[in-house]
Amino acid sequence: MIDLYDLDRDGVEALLRTWGEPRFRAEQLWGWLHERRVSAFEEMTNLPKALRARLMDETTLGTLSVAAEQQSRDGTVKRLYRLSDGQLVESVLMSYDDGRRTACISSQAGCAMACVFCATGQMGFSRHLSATEIFEQAHRYAADLGARGERLSNVVLMGMGEPFHNYDAVLAAVRRILSDLGIGARHVTISTVGLVPQIRRFADEGLQVRLAVSLHAATDEARGAMMPVNRRWPIGELLDACRYYVDRTGRRVTFEWALIAGRNDGPEHAERLGRLLRGLPCHVNLIPLNPTRGYDGEPTAEPDAATFVAVLERHGIPATVRVRRGIDVDAGCGQLKSEVLRRARRAAASPP
């Protein structure tokens, strides 16, 4: 079966040409796929019935199937997708009062980075996603929103996996998100734990896509204990790469900092971070920890988070505390998959 989402515009035209269809049919099909974003061939009403029947027999509209879905009281939608080989990945749609509709999508099944506080890092690495599997997650949400008169406004690659560990597929998917979904580059963000060579490569791509770097600690000792990647590329090398990115693109970097109560959320941690980042065009995104079964940390209380922001501002570093979304539906990276697998293991172990 041919996955139509694997094909670019020329590919769709080439396929229909081999079927003896006129060129305008390819344009009609492309419109259904990426402008109206319908979910069934029956909805492609300006295509002949014979062509729709052949499309149903020989092609598919994507390969992702929903294995589980949860909807939060705040409107956040969390999906667990089953891939064609049985692997599971997550994506999240977050709705905000200002009208933003943001899809957080995955780039890998599992993750090899082993960050201690992350549910995905705790489960290990299974495989890279293809560019189409990455793109389809965003496409699905864009289609759902379009059906109710809304539009997908932002995409962040902050789901399962390390995007720069799957660099080529991620960049191919991002380019399709920009072209086929019509989302502006400045509304797309790629998050990395700090793969220094790929940050430098990304800086040379000529894209206006945003860069976010997971930092979480301001010393090599503390960061290395939380994030094994720091042992390969310590903070000094990471910040040099970030400065290269700023110089090449003229864009600031976002640094992500998971606020963990009693571990990295005190005024002394904020002071150290402020001194570290002083002079670098950046923004700090403070994220109260999403607790996981494999890590005993707890999220920082609001007053402590506010103090952290105030200390950074005294150093001239803008910072905001991310609004927590979907806490009641396992919205943190890897949490829904971990819960579904845990239930499956428990059911398998139970006597009949």
> How far apart, in whole angstroms, are the C-alpha atoms of residue 177 and residue 135?
7
Torsion of CA 136, 137, 140, 145, to 10 degrees: -140
Judging by DSSP bridges, how do beta strands 154-157 and 188-192 pair with one another?
A: parallel
Residue 75: the pLDDT is 87
- Structural domain boundaries of the chain? 2-60, 65-344
Residue in 111, 115, 242, 333 annotated catalytic: 333
Q: How far apart (Å, rounded) are the C-alpha atoms in residues 205 and 287?
A: 28
Are the CB atoms for 157 and 172 separated by under 8 Å?
A: no
Q: Does domain 2-60 have CATH number 1.10.150.530?
A: yes
Q: What is the pLDDT of residue 325?
A: 62
Write down the pLDDT at residue 338. Answer: 59
C-alpha 182, offset from chain centre: 17
- In the structure encoding, which two tokens stand for residue 299, read together? 């999220």
Give CA separation, 175 vs 184, 276, 277, in Å: 10, 33, 30
Rounded Cα–Cα distance for residues 59 and 74 (Å): 37
At a CB cut-off of 8 Å and minimum separation 6, what does 109 contact? 83, 87, 88, 89, 125, 126, 127, 128, 129, 160, 161
Provide the residue count of the chain.
Answer: 352
The pairing of beta strand 282-288 with beta strand 210-214: unpaired
pLDDT for position 318: 98
| DSSP codes of every residue in 157-207 | E-SSS-GGGGHHHHHHHHHHHHHHS---GGGEEEEES--HHHHHHHHTS--
DSSP 104: E
Tokens 């001239």 appear where? 316
Identify the CATH number of the domain defined by range 65-344. Answer: 3.20.20.70
CA distance 246 to 283: 12
Type and span of the H or E element at 310: helix 302-314
Contacts made by residues 18-24, CB under 8 angstroms, sequence distance 24+:
19/51, 19/54, 21/51
Instruction: Tell me the pLDDT tens digit for each residue of 107-159.
Output: 999 999 999 999 888 899 999 999 999 999 999 999 999 999 999 999 999 99
CA–CA distance, 131 with 341 (Å, rounded to integer): 25
Nearest to 281 by CA among 302, 254, 315, 241: 254
Check if 43 is active-site: no
What is the tens place of the pLDDT at every residue in 64-97?
999 999 998 888 999 999 999 999 999 999 999 9
Instruction: Quote the mean pLDDT of the chain.
Output: 93
Give the bridge partners for 191, in sequence order: 212
Distance CA 269, CA 259 (A): 10
Q: Looking at the predicted structure, is the pLDDT value of residue 11 above 80? A: yes
**Strand 108-110, strand 125-128: pairing:** antiparallel
**Tens digit of each residue's pLDDT (9 = 90 or more) over 216-270:** 999 999 999 999 999 999 999 999 999 999 999 999 999 999 999 999 999 999 9
pTM of the predicted protein model: 0.92
Catalytic residue (choose from 13, 90, 133, 256): 90
Segment (H or E) for 320: strand 319-321
Is there a catalytic annotation at residue 333? yes
Q: What is the pLDDT of residue 347?
A: 56
CA–CA distance, 145 with 141 (Å, rounded to integer): 6
What pLDDT is attached to residue 73? Answer: 87
What are the tokens at 82?
Answer: 């089953």
Unique residue bearing structure tokens 């289609």: 143
- Residue holding tokens 């789901």? 159
Give the contacts of 269 (CB within 8 A, at least 6 positions apart).
217, 218, 308
CA 43 and chain centroid, separation? 30
